[in-house]
Amino acid sequence: MLLYDYALSGNCYKIRLFLAVLGQGHDSVAVDFYPGQAHKHPDFLDINPAGTLPVLIDGDVKLCDSQAILVYLARRYDPSGAWFPIDDGPVMGRVQQWLAFSARLTDTAGQARLGTMLGRPVDIEAARSAAHRALRELEAHLTEREFDGSRFLVTDHPTVADIACFPYAALSPDGGIEHDEYPALRRWLLEMRRLPGFIVMPGIPPLHDRTGNDAA
């Protein structure tokens, strides 16, 4: 299994994280996204004409979308079926809904992060405002889930929906989007960092058990 990867990409990180949680080994090819723009070079475009990361190659399977990769890995390498339940239609539909929501986090918090950290030509204030709207929606949902006694987005255990939404929610302070007004979000980020096999990336530190109020 081969992953075309960029260390600072939240979308790439969600694949590395899920592979680690699954205990699934892989090889990586580092792509110089910034400043090298290697994802736009002809050699990389031969691999993925869309010029996006990540790209996963597993035997004859090649996938170029992080959400699609998560679903594939869950169905291919999780015998329990818990990470992407297909036997319960409503649950599977809700998982898909949050997979789609994760793209909103990429397009808002992720864009604010690109503009703030890498100086990309982004309307940072508009991206931050849109990210806060998305995080308020996520906060309301997580608060309701806590009221019902659950710690995760869809079921009593994590699914690919949680993996998909985690990176850009956790990394949003890199884009000037703080978590002070989102207590349920902070508690969910802690739960995710407690997952067996959890790995860090720049901007997402390991869990420190000093207090129950630590936040990513």
3-state helix, strand, coil in the chain (%, to 5): 55, 10, 40
Residue 198 domain-assigned? no
Question: What was the pLDDT predicted at 76?
Answer: 97
Let me know whether 109 and 73 are in one domain.
no
Question: Of 54, 77, 100, at which residue does a domain stop?
Answer: 77
Integer distance in angstroms from the first to the last C-alpha of the chain? 29
Let me know whether 99 and 14 are in one domain.
no
In order, the DSSP letters of 137-158 are HHHHHHHHHHHTT--SSSSSS-
Residue 206 domain-assigned? no
CATH number for position 117: 1.20.1050.10
pLDDT tens, position by position, for the chain (216 residues)? Answer: 999 999 889 999 999 999 999 999 999 999 877 665 657 778 878 888 888 899 999 999 999 999 999 999 999 999 999 999 988 899 999 999 999 999 999 999 999 998 998 787 889 999 999 999 999 999 999 999 999 899 999 999 999 999 999 999 999 999 999 999 999 999 999 999 999 999 998 778 676 443 334 433
Residue 37 domain-assigned? yes
Number of domains in the chain: 2
Question: What was the pLDDT predicted at 213?
Answer: 42
Tell me the residue range of the domain where 128 lies. Answer: 89-193
Question: Of 33, 56, 77, at which residue does a domain stop?
Answer: 77
Let me know whether 105 and 177 are in one domain.
yes
CATH number for position 13: 3.40.30.10
Let me know whether 167 and 109 are in one domain.
yes
Let me know whether 104 and 43 are in one domain.
no
In order, the DSSP letters of 12-76 are HHHHHHHHHHHT---EEEE---TTT-GGGSHHHHHH-TT--S-EEEETTEEE--HHHHHHHHHHH
Sheet of strand 27-30, all strands in order from the earlier edge strand to the far edge: 27-30, 2-5, 55-58, 61-63
Let me know whether 73 and 111 are in one domain.
no
Let me know whether 70 and 117 are in one domain.
no
Q: Which residues of 97-120 are buried (b: 16+ CB within 10 A; e: fewer)?
A: ebbebbbbbbebbbbbbbbbbeee
| Alpha carbon distance 142, 159 (integer Å) | 14
pTM given for the model: 0.91
Question: What was the pLDDT predicted at 60?
Answer: 96
CA atoms within 13 A on the CB side of 122: 22
Which uninterrupted H or E stretch holds 187? helix 183-193
Residue 28 domain-assigned? yes
Residue 83 domain-assigned? no
Let me know whether 177 and 97 are in one domain.
yes
Let me know whether 63 and 137 are in one domain.
no
In degrees rounded to 5, what are phi and psi of residue 204? -125, 95
